[in-house]
Amino acid sequence: MKINKLIILLFILIITLISCNKGSKKFKIILIGTSECNACNESKKIYNEILKKFKNKIKFIYYDISTDEGKKLFNDYNGKSLPLSIFFNSEGKVFFVSQSKLPEDAIIAILNAEGFK
């Protein structure tokens, strides 16, 4: 009897964890820039505005190129110029990389083309 209860509790826990993970998957945008770059600062503002509109669906992370993480990501994604934007879908796969400032409507179109709603 105790084993059956334990199996049921374990099953409930697994189902709960699976459903929580499905709901927490977000699109992610990483922006690499520098404070001396006007296009980078404008891009950061645009992404923050998008984040306000879709905060439960998008995660936005900014890295300055002068940091170790910023340099590593810039090199990992073959950065040639700033700002560098890296788009990840809800599965964590990169689906778009941009090496210039993008207007908000273009960003939304890029996200929607990957199934963002």
Question: Given a cut of 60, is residue 9 above it in pLDDT?
Answer: no
Mind giving me the DSSP string for 5-33? HHHHHHHHHHHHHHHHHHHH--EEEEEEE
* Residues 66/34, Cβ–Cβ less than 8 Å: yes
Please write the tens of the pLDDT for every residue from 17-45.
Answer: 454 444 457 999 999 999 999 999 999 99
Please write the tens of the pLDDT for every residue from 66-95.
Answer: 999 999 999 999 999 999 999 999 999 999
Q: Which helix (H) or strand (E) holds 97?
A: strand 94-98
Residue 21: the pLDDT is 46
Domain spanning 26-113 has what CATH number?
A: 3.40.30.10
pTM over 0.75: yes
Q: Where are the domains of the chain?
A: 26-113
